[in-house]
């Protein structure tokens, strides 16, 4: 039952966010794998629209935070409010206490805000003063950042980047898709456009997550998954150029994330086992923000995606 509901939600998202099937699949994988998602792309590619559509398809609360350079930690976590009638301080919850958080232009916030968000993402809790408050069981941060502007932005620290399950890079749609977007924006009914399905309950989501963890993965596929991550730390075993390009490889958290995402993708496709193709399809999304390239790579114009594509070709597939 949960699988059918997720498929219905997937179809609905694809009818609302045209030409971005990898993005909509990534949203559902993040929900199933209980992780956070970082989305990078130019303005106007329906990032906010997609998150709004996802939030409407789930039973839970949604809040959008517009990150700015003058944002304070209390603006996202909440703060203690003094009540003069009782003479006591009462904690006023901030927007992080919702189920789905859209952190818009996350790289515009200063370090103190990033630190508060990091605790929420990593520990599923926030600390204000001497008190720690747990966040809801269903909690997911969907962060966006604009790669075109550098002024007024703060690069995300590696420790925080590592907390994101995946990073999805969006690009402009094709001409025929853009024509459909134009018609959809005018309010025209498109062929294949669907009504919103019944929202998924939180219990359905938790049940689906349990099923995802039970997906079978053969030992040879497990070893292949681990070798793909190890290759980012020991690239000299595969290619001398890779050794010059990679300064630091991915952490064990990447191995765990790759495992969860591959299982979630198999479950979404209606299978009870993971194939090497599942791992390959999510490999770049899981690792592109976790590897640190050298100055030589930047000088050569090498991107993380190029490095990961090369590794996929070098590591033998079972």
Is the Cα dihedral 245, 248, 251, 254 positive or negative? negative
pLDDT at 252: 93
Domain ranges of the chain: 2-169, 215-314
Domain boundaries 215-314, corresponding CATH code: 1.10.8.80
pTM attached to this predicted model: 0.90
CA dist 5 and 266 (Å) reads 16
Which tens digits make up the pLDDT trace of 15-51?
A: 888 888 889 999 999 999 999 999 988 877 788 888 8
Could you tell me which residues come within 8 angstroms of residue 133 by beta carbon, excluding any fewer than 6 positions away? 78, 91, 93, 97, 125, 126, 127
> Residue ranges of the chain with pLDDT lower than 50?
none
Q: One fold for both 2-169 and 215-314? A: no
Three-state SS annotation for 83-123: ECCCCEEEEEECHHHCCEEEEECHHHCCHHHHHHHHHHHHH
CATH number of 2-169, picked from 3.40.50.10330, 3.30.450.20, 1.10.3720.10, 3.40.50.300: 3.40.50.300
- Give kind and range of the element (H or E) at residue 248: strand 246-248
Is the Cα dihedral 104, 110, 113, 118 positive or negative? positive
Percent helix, strand, coil in the chain, to 5, is 50, 20, 35
């Amino acid at each position: 039952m949960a699988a059918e509901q997720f498929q219905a939600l997937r179809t609905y998202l694809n009818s609302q966010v045209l030409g971005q099937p990898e993005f909509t699949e990534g949203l559902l994988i993040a929900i199933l794998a209980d992780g956070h998602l970082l989305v990078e792309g130019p303005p106007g590619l329906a990032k906010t629209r997609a998150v709004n559509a996802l939030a409407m398809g789930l039973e839970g609360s949604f809040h959008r935070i517009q990150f700015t350079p003058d944002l304070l930690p209390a603006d996202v976590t909440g703060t203690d409010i003094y009540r003069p009638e009782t003479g006591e301080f009462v904690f006023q919850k901030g927007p992080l206490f919702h189920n789905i958080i859209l952190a818009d232009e996350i790289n515009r916030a200063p370090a103190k805000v990033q630190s508060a968000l990091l605790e929420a993402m990593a520990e599923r809790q926030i600390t204000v003063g001497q008190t720690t408050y747990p966040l809801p069981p269903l909690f997911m941060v969907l962060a966006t950042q604009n790669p075109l502007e550098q002024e007024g932005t703060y690069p995300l620290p590696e420790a925080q980047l590592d907390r994101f399950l995946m990073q999805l890079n969006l690009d402009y749609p094709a001409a025929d898709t853009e024509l459909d977007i134009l018609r959809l924006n005018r309010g025209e009914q498109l062929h294949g456009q669907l009504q919103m399905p019944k929202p998924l309950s939180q219990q359905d989501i938790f049940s689906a997550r349990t099923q995802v963890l039970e997906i079978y993965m053969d030992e040879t596929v497990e070893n292949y998954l681990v070798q793909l991550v190890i290759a980012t730390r020991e690239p000299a075993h595969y290619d001398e150029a890779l050794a010059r390009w990679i300064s630091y490889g991915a952490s064990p958290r990447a191995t765990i994330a790759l495992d969860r995402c591959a299982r979630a993708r198999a479950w979404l496709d209606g299978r009870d086992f993971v194939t090497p193709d599942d791992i390959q399809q999510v490999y770049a999304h899981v690792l592109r923000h976790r590897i640190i390239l050298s100055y030589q790579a930047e000088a050569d114009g090498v991107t993380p995606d190029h490095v990961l594509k090369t590794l996929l070709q070098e590591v033998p597939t079972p």
